[in-house]
Amino acid sequence: MGQPFSLSLQRRPRRLRQNEILRDMIREFRVLPEKLIQPVFVLDQESAREPVGSMPGIERLGRKEFLEEVRVLSDLGIRSVALFPKIEQALKTDSGRAAAVDPNGIVPRLARLVKDAGIPVNLIADIALDPYTTHGHDGVVDFSTGEVINDPTVEILSEMAVVYAEAGVDWVAPSDMMDGRVGAIRKALDAARYENTVIMAYSAKFASAFYGPFRDAVGSSPVKGGAYLDKSTYQLSPGSVREAMVEVALDIEEGADIIMVKPAGAYLDVIQRVKDQCDLPVAAYQVSGEYAMIHAAAQNGWIDYAAARDESLLAIVRSGADIVLTYFAKEIAQQ
């Protein structure tokens, strides 16, 4: 027999992939629990667990269950929790103001419960009107034209942020995409002596098709005629990256502490561009539709659930996200 075939190669990249110890040692990117934020849907009930049908494994929690969940998350190493309320229909109004700025509303009450219990987590509250309005838009609507009116909306959002800060919320996260809201919120917080309240701005929030399960979870936008509520007059067009960069620059100028891109998976290029051009921490939101699709494909046997989940998160981190909001956070911490 002749000599076995052998290439004369000075460099063989596979040498660095030959065993798990070596692969782990040289890995550039990791998904760390302390970098994750767990979104939690909450109900203004003493005790409740309501499954979200479009999001397997996710529930809306009453006050008792929410406190229990926050303790579990904290013990697992998840240091930040984002609150998203589902409001009773009877409390919703056209402007959303009454429920949104109520000091005894669901978010302020839960914030006080967590702080009184001494649970060491960072509480993040969404600042937008969609859970509180009858129509599901993120702002005040002029019903004569159908326009979402910018400045009156910002006035309510600023008041809302102060109410939440007073209750003990650590970060406020304006997700409405109104012009000038970051500057107005920063001014209102500072005037109320909440200079240390962090603003995590949804700076590049796109009018995405991937939000459907979230809107189901908070009850903000029922399907009408087979189509979800159109928010494209204030959320970004998926094809407009330059507009996204303008929004990012304005939010930085107005005093945002953290910049967010939403959604994450379909906008990895935007995350990378923001990271390259921004010195602030960059957050990315792996949204409900991304979560639901991975579950649906896995349930049909089309993909490996854990592998796809982990790869999707690694891609977001690799693209430049310092912080990731994901419904997988608890699972990742449990590994």
* 13 is a domain residue: no
Q: Which of 205, 231, 275, 330 is catalytic?
A: 205
Number of domains in the chain: 1
* 12 is a domain residue: no
Angle, CA of 235, 239 and 245, to the nearest 5°: 65
Q: Which of 86, 231, 262, 275 is catalytic?
A: 262
Taking the CA atoms of 60, 261, 318 and 293 in sequence, report the sign of the dihedral they define.
Answer: positive
What CATH number corresponds to the domain at position 151?
Answer: 3.20.20.70
- Model confidence over 248-292: pLDDT tens digits? 999 999 999 999 999 999 999 999 999 999 999 999 999 999 999
pLDDT at 221: 59
* 3 is a domain residue: no
Neighbouring residues of 169: CB distance < 8 A, sequence distance ≥ 6: 107, 108, 111, 123, 124, 125, 197
d(CA 173, CA 154): 13
Q: Indicate the pTM of the whole model.
A: 0.94
**Active-site residue 262, yes or no?**
yes
Q: Which domain holds residue 231?
A: 29-334
**Active-site residue 205, yes or no?**
yes
- Model confidence over 213-222: pLDDT tens digits? 888 888 765 5
* 170 is a domain residue: yes
